[in-house]
Amino acid sequence: MARRRVRQSVFFLFGGPVLAAVLAFACYGLYLVTTLTLPKGEEHPPLLIYGAPFPLKPEQSIAETHLLERLSRLGYREVSEGPSHPGEYRVSGSALDLYLHGQEDLHVPAERVRLQLDRGRITGLSSPVQDGRLVSAALEPQLISGLRGVSRQVRTWLPLREIPPLLVDTILEVEDHRFYWHPGIDPIAIGRAVVANVVRGGVVQGGSTITQQLAKNLFYSPKRTLTRKFQEAVASLVLEMKYSKDEILEGYLNEIYLGQAGSVGIYGVAAAAQSYFGKQVDDLSIEEVALIAGLIKGPNTYSPLRDKDLAKRRRDIVLGRLRDTGKLTGEEWGAAVDRPVQVFPLQHVVADAPYFVDYLLSQVESGGLQIPSGAKVYTTLDPVLQRLAADSLQQGLTQLEAAYPILKRDDEPLQGALVVMDPRAGEVLAMVGGRDYRLSQFNRAVQAKRQPGSLFKPFVYLAAFEGQYGDETGPITAATTLLDEPVAFESGAGSWSPQNYDRQFRGKVTVREALEHSLNVPVVRVAHKLGARRVADVARQLGIRSPLDANLTLALGASSVSLLEMVSGYAVLAHEGIATSPTPLRQVVSEEGDPLWHAIGERHQVVSPQAAYLVTSLLKGVVDRGTATKARALGLTAVVAGKTGTTDGYRDAWFIGYTPEYVIGIWIGFDDGHELKLSAAQAALPIWARLARQVIPAASPDFAIPSGVMSVEIDPHTGQLATDRCPEKVVEVFIQGTEPTVYCEVHGGGLWERFKRTFGL
């Protein structure tokens, strides 16, 4: 009786848990048999997001357009003879010969193009095949990102038969050389790993098979727990029961995570070959195969995009394993390990633009556009401009912190945002929403609402020009004189007296002088004359959607807006008063190549071309003579209009500058509103100029003068027609019918001028 009790106690002590474990194992296994499904092919292919094609046209500079970088990004190879295959190019003194890739989804065939060159500038396009001039040609769009569910990733599914045996054998040798012999779990590998870890006193070796790794990647989190290892082991056995070894291996080679290109994950050997080397898997060399196989152990640790030396050491270990197993001869091994690691630069892997992609997806969602998996989305992004914008902001913020140590805070990093837009189509060409997307996904170009300060002043003068508002002295023009003297305005909150930034007053100034030097008192006087509601209405016509306070502080930019809104407003000025809503999207094509959606740009003439040109003329003066002259000192030579914006308390620094082709806007500040104690010319303008010098061609065209605008020589102190006795004369622009008709009453004279004007001479 005592022995029976002992046996029962032993059974309940040991047998019960074992039986429970077996039952749990069996039940979980049965559950997985009915639920686990191994992907076969691209059942759920990622949504692929591309940038914009780059048009090739006469007058472009090879250097200024960064054409060779664009070719490198797209995987083009320079050859010594005439290009004979798509993806090849040859540069000579007088021509650049290209064999353009075909774009099946856009129904564009591969074709040869010759760019005639003269001193590095394109003078014409021709077709060597058709022996005639080409009207147009374009480089294909670059991949920006891929989206699968909520994960940003790029991958290309390849059947096992299309993956080179060398790549397959190398990965098997490194990761699981008994793959074809074990049932999903390898007891020998587990035992070897346990011994190694005990000897080394830590986790230095794993015993997971390829089947276990695939199960973990597809179905479980990467956390190392006993529960997860148990689930992974059961799932591996189930996979081996349900699928053949080749099906499991194919899934593994296409699903394995192989690193990160910025915010985009690289999955599968095909995507890794393209991302790291710009090649198809068939074209990989032995050392490139070894590098990809070595990445599996630690994709981010051994990434050649982060640490080439560490990547080479890992690659050479794999090469040594191939030599030891007889897959490489000593001579082949020696040649392979002597070769350096050569990969695409990080920015060439994908055009990493995470804030832009966020903005794109938010626009798609708000517009109710349903995009199926596997579709291709073609955007407005220019990958080179995106890279230049991101680099300019990053380097500029670092230099600001070095020059002004007070800006370097442990609790809150100095932040910034940049937007580049094409004012003609409203296309967003580049967007940087913060310093580091990995640390903060808050898009300061779109989501942040800050006071624009003096950046808002041009809208006040635009409202005056547009309505030709004035008084008994006539309409307000660029030459109208305004009083820059102490003044008080009554409001519901009491009396308010605006001050200039330097606390000085200058007496009488023209509208041009007031805007060029960003004077506060004159612009508030104009806003008072117009009415704050009229100013707010014009701002809304320009695309400002944020709430605006309809009081006089609006003239000084006291209402909070986003950087994108302000860039959109300035784009109207750049595009002759025509508003186009900002857009990141061009078209969507299905996986089969069928068009699903195409952007239809809506344009509206919201202010007159004449009023828009007058403001642009004033803002050209801001850069040439006013608060933004530092841009010239920093080497910017192109014709540019622009405006600084510094908010009260020096909390925010802005600058927006534009040409007929580009509007570039920047904001600098702290997320918590901490004071910069720097003006816009000190904080924002240098970073803007760094980018503008690389983006805006030196020969950028001037703004077209619309009909109905005339130039008149005036006395700058009176704003009246200049006479021969005026000591100083300037040419000013006016909307026809608003030009001065009175000759300078201060300096007198003007008989000859009156005679010429009377007789139309």
List the catalytic residues.
175, 454
> What residue spans of 99-225 are helical by DSSP H?
165-175, 187-200, 210-219
Residues 6+ apart with CB under 8 A from 347: 73, 383, 387
Contacts of 610 (CB under 8 A, 6+ apart): 465, 706, 708, 709, 735, 736
Could you give the CA distance from residue 8 to residue 574 in angstroms, rounded to a whole number? 90
Specify the length of the chain in residues. Answer: 761
Which tokens in the block code for residue 734? 């006016």
Query: How far is the first Cα of the chain from the last one, in angstroms, to the nearest whole number?
Result: 134
Concatenate the DSSP letters of all residues of 419-473 into one string: EEEETTTTEEEEEE-SS-TTT----TTTT--B--GGGGHHHHHHHHHHHT-EETT
Round to whole Å and give the CA distance between 454 and 476: 20
Is the dihedral angle over the CA atoms 267, 271, 276, 282 positive or is it negative?
Answer: positive
Beta bridge partners of 579: 604
**Measured distance CA(457)–CA(463) in Å, rounded:** 10
Provide the angle, in degrees to the nearest 10, between the axes of the packed helices 609-625 and 457-467.
140
Beta strands in 649-751 (DSSP E): 652-658, 663-669, 709-714, 730-735
- Taking the C-alpha atoms of residue 187 and residue 472, their distance in angstroms, rounded to an integer, is 98
In sequence order, the β-bridge partners of residue 118 are 121
Nearest to 628 by CA among 590, 604, 606, 657: 657
Which amino acid is present at 390? Answer: A
Which two tokens mark 109?
């065939």
Cα 721 to Cα 742: distance, rounded to the nearest angstrom: 6
CA distance 304 to 621: 49
- Token duo for residue 677: 């104690």
Tokens of residue 339, six digits: 């070769």
Cβ neighbours of 252 (radius 10 Å): 27
Q: Is 228 exposed, middle or buried (0-12, 13-18, 19+ CB in 10 A)?
A: middle
Cβ(444)–Cβ(436) below 8 Å: no
Q: For the stretch 449-484, what's the b/e string if a residue is b when 16 or more beta carbons lie within 10 angstroms of its beta carbon?
A: ebbbbbbbbbbbbbbbbbbbeeeeeebbbbbbbbeb
Name residue 580's beta-bridge partners.
Answer: 603
Handedness of CA 392, 393, 398, 404 (dihedral sign): positive
What phi-psi label fits residue 589: left (phi over 0), alpha (psi between -120 and 50 degrees) or beta? beta
Largest CA distance in the chain: 138
